[in-house]
Amino acid sequence: MSPPGRSYKTSAVVLRGRVYGEADRILTLFTSERGKIDAIAKGARRTKSHLAGRLEFGNQVQLGMHRGRNLDVIVTADTEEAHWQRLVQPESFAAASIVIELVDAFCEPDLAQPDIYMLLTGALRTIGRSDEPLAVLPRFSMRLLDALGLAPPLDACIHCGTAFDGAGSWLDPEQGGFACARCRPAWREVLVLEADDMRNIRAVAAPRGRDASATLHASGRAAQAIEALINHHLGRRPKAGVHALEFVRGA
């Protein structure tokens, strides 16, 4: 729902942009009040434009907007947090690209999602400051699924509802969750998770402060399972994920 009046202000993160005409850019933004929107920044590609350098990938900005017939127009832009300056390292850029691609892909246009806005800005800030930026992705992914209402039950089998009670489990990506050993088809190759892996996933997925002693780093199998869940709900692998994997393998 658009704000009342023709002029308004909003905080936003720049998700992506494309060239339009000789000097303009059309940007996809994730705003604090309206969720994902497209807007035009007229003259932004001119070197003397007051918008130049502020509407970069991942930057958090305060925008003065004017409602247009087809696209809202960005009139002013002030930097709130310049994430771009901290995302120039390959691993940081790869992690931020995946975070932004997921938000862009999962979120519908013009739908206010303030929890996801806070999750996005927090993730970009953490990635920019982290020595292990890609390690941020499992927690972000689980919190994003939770905010979207897509998070699977983590204490019981998705098929029969039986509590895991310290027993191992396996990932059923086609059902978007975890299942007990009794529900595993004998013929099927699956990702088997030990009890420690499930405890790790629960710790990674927990809201901040729920368990201060729990590590926020995902184990290898836990990270693999979380990635598979994201790919299932997205219907594909994030394009940015391919580049992240190439980076890790080449490191």
Q: How confident is the model at residue 249 (pLDDT cuts 50, 70, 90)?
A: very low
CB 31 within 8 A of CB 10: yes
**Domain residues for 221?**
87-250
Cα–Cα distance list, 246 to 9, 207, 210, 217 (Å): 40, 31, 34, 21
Name the one residue in this structure whose structure tokens are 């001119």: 46
CB 28 within 8 A of CB 47: no
The pLDDT, as a whole number, for residue 83 is: 76
Residue 58: alpha-carbon gap to chain centroid: 12
pTM here?
0.89
83-98 core/surface letters (b: 16 or more CB in 10 A; e: else): bbebbeeebbbbbbbb
Q: Considering only CA atoms, which of 165, 135, 169, 167 is closest in space to residue 152?
A: 169
CB 171 within 8 A of CB 193: yes
Burial of 167 (0-12, 13-18, 19+ CB in 10 A): middle
The percent of residues in the chain predicted with pLDDT above 70, rounded, is 90
Q: What is the pLDDT of residues 47-84, one digit of tens each?
A: 788 887 889 999 999 999 999 888 999 999 999 988 77
CB 3 within 8 A of CB 34: yes
The count of domains in the chain is 2
pLDDT higher than 50, residue 248: no
Residues 121 and 81: their CA atoms lie apart, in Å, by 9
pLDDT higher than 60, residue 221: yes
Residues 35 and 51: their CA atoms lie apart, in Å, by 21
- Same domain, residue pair 66 and 92: no
- Same domain, residue pair 78 and 120: no
- Same domain, residue pair 73 and 126: no
Mean of pLDDT over the chain: 88
1: in domain: no
The pLDDT, as a whole number, for residue 6 is: 86
Cα–Cα distance list, 94 to 53, 187, 198, 233 (Å): 21, 37, 26, 20
What is the rounded average pLDDT of the residues 8-27? 93
What is the rounded average pLDDT of the residues 137-157? 95
- Same domain, residue pair 187 and 119: yes
Find the CATH number of the domain harbouring 65: 2.40.50.140
Residue 248: alpha-carbon gap to chain centroid: 19
- Same domain, residue pair 21 and 51: yes
Q: How many CA atoms lie within 13 A of 23 on its CB side?
A: 10
Q: Which of 49, 65, 82 is the last residue of a domain?
A: 82
Q: How confident is the model at residue 2 (pLDDT cuts 50, 70, 90)?
A: very low
2: in domain: no
What is the rounded average pLDDT of the residues 207-223? 69
Residues 203 and 68: their CA atoms lie apart, in Å, by 45
pLDDT higher than 70, residue 37: yes
The pLDDT, as a whole number, for residue 10 is: 95
